[in-house]
Amino acid sequence: MYLAHFGLKEFPFGLTPDTDYFFPGAGAQSALNTLLVALESGEGLIKIVGEVGSGKTLLCRYLLNQLERQGWAAAYVPNPHLSPAALNQALLAELGGDVKRSVAYGLTKALEMRLLELAQAGKHAVALIDEAQAMPLESLEALRLITNLETEKRKLLQIVLFGQPELDTRLADSSVRQIRSRIVFHERISPLGALETPVYLMHRATQAGATGALFTPATARKLHQLSRGVPRLLNILAHKTLLLAFGEGLTQAEPRHARLAARDTPGARLPWWQFLARAA
């Protein structure tokens, strides 16, 4: 009923990182541009940092799709809380290597052999590691050893680390200072700006099938204020706001719906009087 009421074919503000909904806001586009330039220039190690809910995973998967369409050999590691051996095995498997070969040659050697095969076939190889702040220090050091693999012309494997700000804290540890020194490009994903938020809301609604504005301009401004431009929080608030408008039979959400949605949404920036009301 919700979808039919607003003329939608699917929910526009889901939390899954659907690349069809990638929005090239200033923060995400700047990070994407940095990634494309760094990868094209053959740099070995790149870092992208963003707060929780800033869209890192969506950016990572969007980049993965772009690279695969361009013929890159890409390894995607969504959960890197792995030992060095398990990390090497995951990379080998993702790059289409023969895991059985590692029994005879060892994981590192088997990975090197697979990367050489890809290089000889004219393929660039890249590893996209999401939630990199969860990596054990010894696995970060293992990545440094992998970045040593190279031909006379270029690195055999380029690595992109996507992580929360805690990744910077982790990299500040003296035991991984060598890998920290090898990060040539880095970017921080910024939240959506006040002028971007209405465009973002329209983009997602249109992608889901909407033919008109689901939020009044004042509602879009209120949603930006409440979410501080953080995409995940904005999606949660936008979805709840539409539910409240639907409950009243309205086809456009109003600012009061956004304020009500924020009252039971952790992380929403509420005016001081609403904090008092919620505590009462």
pLDDT tens profile 120-154: 999 999 999 999 999 999 999 999 888 888 877 78
Residue matched to tokens 């990638």: 22
Does the predicted TM-score (pTM) go above 0.75? yes
Query: What is the pLDDT, as a whole number, of residue 108?
Result: 85
Q: What single-letter amino acid sits at 273?
A: W
Q: C-alpha dihedral over 26, 27, 30, 34, to 10 degrees?
A: -170
Query: Mean pLDDT across the chain, nearest whole number?
Result: 91
The band of 280, judged by pLDDT with boundaries at 50, 70 and 90, is very low
Is the pLDDT confidence value at 247 over 90?
A: yes
Q: Which domains does the chain have, with CATH numbers?
A: 2-13+193-279 (1.10.8), 26-188 (3.40.50.300)
The type of residue at 221 is R
Question: Which H or E element spans position 171?
Answer: helix 166-171
Radius of gyration over every alpha carbon of the chain, rounded to an integer in angstroms: 22
Residue 106 banded pLDDT, cuts 50, 70, 90: confident
Instruction: Look up tokens 């090497």; give the residue.
Output: 88
Q: Is the dihedral of CA 66, 188, 204, 240 positive or negative?
A: positive
Check residue 188 and give left, alpha or beta (phi > 0: left; psi -120 to 50: alpha).
beta
| pLDDT at 105 > cutoff 90 | no
The CA distance from 122 to 149, in Å, is 16
Predicted pLDDT at 66: 94
DSSP 166: H
With a CB cutoff of 8 Å and minimum separation 6, the contacts of 200 are 23, 25, 192, 231, 234
Residues above pLDDT 90, as percent of the chain: 79
Residue the block writes with tokens 């030992």: 83
The C-alpha torsion from 239 through 244 and 246 to 249, rounded to 10°, is -160
Q: What is the DSSP letter of 193?
A: P
Quick check: 172 pLDDT over 50? yes
> What is the pLDDT confidence band of residue 275, given thresholds at 50, 70 and 90?
very low
pLDDT higher than threshold 60 for residue 217: yes
Mean pLDDT of 86-92: 93
